[in-house]
Structure 1
Amino acid sequence: MAIQSLLDIGKSGILAQRLALEVTSENITNVNTPGYSRQTTVFQTGIVTEEREFPLGTGVKVAEIQRAYDDFLQTQLKTEGSTSGWSSTVLNAMKRAEQLFNEFTADGLGKSMQEFFSSWQDLTANPQGQPERQAVLARAQQLVDQFHRINSYLTDIKRESNQSLEGITSDINNDLTRIASLNDQIKMIEIRGARANELRDQRDLLVRQLSEKVGITYLEDTDGSINVSLTLGQPLVLGNKAATLSLEPDAANNGFYKIMAASPGGNTSVDISTIAGGPGNTQGTLGGTLQVRDSLVNGFLSDLDELASTLATEVNSLHSAGFGLNSSTGLDFFTAPAATAGYSGLGGIDLAITKTADIAAANTDPATGGTGNNLNARAIAGIYDKVLATSGGTMTMEGFYNSLVGKVGVAVQDSERKSTLSEGIMKQLENLRESQSGVSLDEELANLIKYQKAYEGAAKLINVGTEMLDTVLGLIR
């Protein structure tokens, strides 16, 4: 082997070990970088030549810088991220709704209903008593206020959920734009035969972050770019082009936003509200927000409206048939429900009478039947325990309210269970990713020493070659 070959081999060793030291340094400095995957220097022997009929290598070269990456694990993190985003969003909203039906407080709707019908029961003991009659009106007003309060708070949850879509869609658009940009950069680098490991890490992290906001699928193309779509098919990223989400008021849904998506590189927009987060679609914060706004809270409001409408209808039917102290009759106690929907809110249930004399406690006209009749008050007081036909089956007023409280509790428990389960799975997946792709400082420091010694050995080899060359040159002189 010629001395020049010895020097070339030493040179290849210095270059290869220096690159390995740079890769190790990159790993160490990015030990706390989110989404970073450990990189490994893969060495390969140089071209084999024949020296005096013996095959000898010509040194070492770096075959590739390999990224510790598991595509299956990335897919699992993406899928579970969507579930985690949905469950946490729904849980936060359901916990807020649960506070409205906390019957351990003294001012709950259930307590107000009991006190309202109890005031009618108290009135039966003294049908002409002004304090008792004033108590009926006061308890009735408290009950109306409770219906209005809960309706307003539930409506606020819907309104705030709708408002939060502005921030969610803005974040999604930002992620889509960045993924498309990284696609372009990765393609330009890898078309030359290199591997854009750091850029791929950044893109993978963006995909996981995007999946927490909306359910997606992705597929890698042969040029290294990925195409991203909604779970049900609407394209979001095609190569270096990204879709743009926008919000438009929907007159058919009380002016709440519908989500429009312009196709990547195009101007045509389609409504993706249903496929992005329709009922039953547990996909990301976007899906959870739409489900809270358009499904879950609406179910509670519907039951609340039915309870208010049923209570008012039952009380009005008896009250309008009775007589007040001033012989008034045919008067509704509550405003008559024109429609069930929205009746529990402002502009719906309210008191239809304001005078204590108009409270129809008797079932006969006091002018002809005397003033001591309390039969109508007794009948109204008995409504609380009367079995009624409701959308949930035949049950009492109290039973229907308890079923509503139960629905809220079940929704909280269900979202809490899913959130806890998803959180545990995500933690396991993150730990698994860290064990496979994360940086171990102990391992990297050991590699640092190994490559440093190899670098010193290659440098020593060059020194030996230089000394041999000097010896030869000295013989010539």
Structure 2
Amino acid sequence: MSILSLLDIAKSGITAQRLALEVTSENITNVNTPGYSKQTTVFTTATVSQERGFPLGNGVRVAEIQRAYDDFLQMQLKSENTTKGWSDTVLASMTRAEQLFNEFTTDGLGKSLQDFFSAWQDLTANPQGQPERQAILARGQQLADQFKRVNSYLNDIRTEANQSLEGVTADVNDKLRKIASLNEQIKQIEVQGARANELRDQRDLAVRQLAEKVGITYMEQTDGTLNVSLSLGQPLVLGKDAAVLSLQPDAANSGFYRIYSTAPGGKTAVDISSIVGGPGNGQGEMGGTLQVRDSLVNGFLADLDELAYTLATEVNAVHSSGFGLTGSTGLDFFSTPATMAGYSGLGGISVAISNSNDIAAANADPSVGGTGNNTNAKDIASLFDKILPLSGGNMTLGGFYNSLVGKVGVSVQNAERSATLSEGVLKQLDNLRESQSGVSLDEELANLIKYQKAFEGAAKLINTGTEMMDVILGLVR
């Protein structure tokens, strides 16, 4: 081996250790960078050559800069982020809805329902009493107002969920553009034989963030790009091209949005609302938002309408057959329901009479024996405990209200349970990723010293080779 070969070997050592020091420095400086995966310098011996019949090495070279990455773990993080996005979104809305519904022992619709029938019970003791009659009008109006308050609040939840789609859609589009841009950059780097580790880390983080917004799947291509699709297959990112999600007015539901997608590189937008938020498909924040708006809250509103409609229909049927103090008859107590849908809201349930003398407590005309008659008042008061055929089965009005409260509570519990579970799983997955891909400062500082010493050794080898060359040149002179 010549002195020049010795210097070449030393040069390879300096070059390799310098690169290793740069990689270690990159790890240390990115110890707190979200999504960053530690990198490792992989060394290999240079090509072996024959020297006087003996195989001798020609130094060291860097085979690759390896990224600590687990694709299976990335898929798990993606899936769990999707669940968390859905759970948090539904939980926030259902917690708000839960505040509306209270037991009969507290203020709210349930208490107003009980107070209304209690007022009719009080009237049976004094059918001609004006205070009792005024109390019925007041309790009836209070009950109607409570129906409208709850209806309005539930509709506010739907409206806010609908408006939140604007922000979610913008976030999704931003993530799609970012992934497509990173695809192009990664392809340009890796087609030259390099490895775009930092860009891949950024892309993986963007994928996890996108998964929190909407349910997705992905597949890496041979050129290093990542194709991303909705869970049911509609493409979102193809190479350097990204889909564009947009919101368009829903013709069947005024004021609400439908979600459309223009495929990567395409020009025609297609409706993906049922794909993103349909039964069994609702995933991520977008799916959770659509489920709250189109399914959960709608179910509560339908039950609320049914309760108000049944209450008014049953009370009106008895009241219209009775007689007031002045002989009035055939009057509905509540506004006559045209349809069940929307009856609990504005323009729906209200007290139809204003004169307390028109409250039909008797079942006979006062002029022929109705004075002091409380039969009709007793019949209305008994409606509270009457078993009625309702959508949830045969039950009382109070029982139906309790079932509505139960539905809201179950929705909250389901979302809460899912949110707690996904939070715990995500914490475990993050810890696992940190243990595999996170930067350990202790380990990197140890590597720093190791590579520094190797660099110093290679530099010393150059000094030795230089001295040997000087000796030889001195002999020649």
Q: TM-score category by the smaller chain?
A: over 0.9
Residue-by-residue CA offset, 1:161-206 (whole Å, 9 max, x unaligned): 0000000000000000010000000000000000000000000000
SS in 1 for 2:322: coil
Greater displacement, 110-119 / 276-285: 276-285
Q: Secondary structure at the match of 1:50?
A: strand
For the residues of structure 2 that align with 1:12 and 1:104, how far apart are their CA atoms? 83
Q: In the aligned structure 1, how far is the partner of 2:400 from the partner of 2:218?
A: 46
Is residue 282–residue 290 contact of structure 2 (8 Å, CA) maintained in 1?
no
Q: Displacement of 1:426 after TM fit?
A: 0.5
Superposed counterparts of 1:256-295, under 5 Å: 256-295=256-295
Cα deviation for residue 397 of structure 1 reads 0.8
In the alignment, which residue of structure 1 is the partner of 2:462? 462
Partners of 1:106 and 1:425 lie apart in 2 by 38
CA distance in structure 2 between the aligned counterparts of 1:295 and 1:127, rounded to whole angstroms: 45
Q: Secondary structure at the match of 2:247?
A: strand
Question: Partner residue of 1:144?
Answer: 144
Q: State the distance in 2 between where 1:54 and 1:104 align.
A: 96
- Determine the C-alpha separation between the residues in 2 that align with 1:91 and 1:268: 35
Task: Pick closer, same or farther for the CA change 1:377–1:104 going to 2, 3 Å.
Answer: closer
Q: Is the 8 Å Cα contact of residues 82 and 282 (structure 1) preserved in structure 2?
A: no
Distance 2:380 2:453 in 1: 95
Residue identity (%): 76
1:255-334 correspondence runs (5 A) = 255-334=255-334
CA contact (8 A) 1:277 1:288 kept: yes
For structure 1, list consecutive stretches of 5 or more residues without a partner in the other structure: none
- Take 2:95 and 2:370, find their aligned partners in 1: how far apart are those partners? 53
5+ residue gaps, structure 2, are: none
Structure 1 counterpart of 2:236 = 236
- For residue 440 of structure 1, what is the amino acid of its counterpart? S
**1:83 aligned residue:** 83
SS in 1 for 2:264: coil
Q: Residue deviations 1:248-306, cap 9 Å, x none?
A: 01021233100000010111110000111112324100000000000000011010000
Matched residue, 2:38: 38
Question: Which residue number in structure 1 is paired with residue 112 of structure 2?
Answer: 112
TM-score, length-scaled by structure 2:
0.99
Q: How does 1:305-454 map onto structure 2 within 5 Å? A: 305-454=305-454
Whole-angstrom CA distance in 2 between matches of 1:338 and 1:412: 33
Structure 2 partner of 1:121: 121
The answer to whether the Cα contact below 8 Å between 1:43 and 1:62 also exists between their aligned partners in 2 is: yes
For the residues of structure 2 that align with 1:104 and 1:59, how far apart are their CA atoms?
Answer: 85
After superposition, the Cα gap between the structure-2 partners of 1:4 and 1:149, relative to the gap in structure 1 and judged at 3 Å, is: same
1:210 maps to what in 2?
210
- Alpha-carbon separation, structure 2, partners of 1:212 and 1:336: 47
Shift of 1:103: 2.5
Where do residues 27-66 of structure 1 align in structure 2 (5 Å cutoff)?
A: 27-66=27-66
Whole-angstrom CA distance in 2 between matches of 1:285 and 1:278:
13
Distance in 1 (CA, whole Å) between partners of 2:298 and 2:25 is 56
Per-residue CA deviation, residues 142-173 of structure 1 (Å, 9 max, x unaligned), is: 10011000000000000000000000000000
State the number of aligned residues: 477
Residue 104 of structure 1 deviates from its aligned partner by 7.4
| Maintained 8 Å contact 2:215/2:230 | yes
Query: For the Cα contact (< 8 Å) 1:325–1:359, is it kept in 2?
Result: yes
The answer to whether the Cα contact below 8 Å between 2:118 and 2:381 also exists between their aligned partners in 1 is yes
Q: What secondary structure does 1:64 align onto?
A: strand
Q: Which runs of 4+ in 1 moved over 4 A?
A: none
Q: Partner amino acid for 1:174?
A: D
Instruction: Measure how far apart 1:105 and its partner are.
Output: 6.8
- Letter paired with 1:261: S
What letter matches 2:334 in structure 1?
F
Aligned residues of 2:104 and 2:110 also touching (Cα < 8 A):
no
Partner of 2:97: 97
* Conserved 8 A contact 2:236-2:263: yes
**Amino acid in the other structure paired with 2:213:** K
- Distance of 1:147 and 1:439 partners within structure 2: 57
Q: How large is the RMSD of aligned CA atoms in angstroms?
A: 0.8
> How big is the shift at 1:107?
1.8
Q: Is the 8 Å Cα contact of residues 323 and 359 (structure 2) preserved in structure 1?
A: yes
> Which AA in structure 1 matches 2:170?
S
8 Å contact 1:385–1:397 — kept in the other structure? yes
* SS of structure 1 residue aligned to 2:128: coil
In 1, Cα distance between the equivalents of 2:105 and 2:82?
A: 36
CA contact (8 A) 2:363 2:370 kept: no
Equivalent AA in structure 2 for residue 81 of structure 1: N
CA distance in 2, matches of 1:385, 1:254: 39
User: Counterpart in 2 of 1:12?
Assistant: 12
Residue 377 of structure 1: CA displacement?
A: 0.3
Secondary structure of the residue aligned to 1:251 is: coil
Structure 1 residue 326: Cα displacement:
1.3
Instruction: Tell me which residue corresponds to 1:165.
Output: 165
Corresponding letter in the other structure for 1:348: G
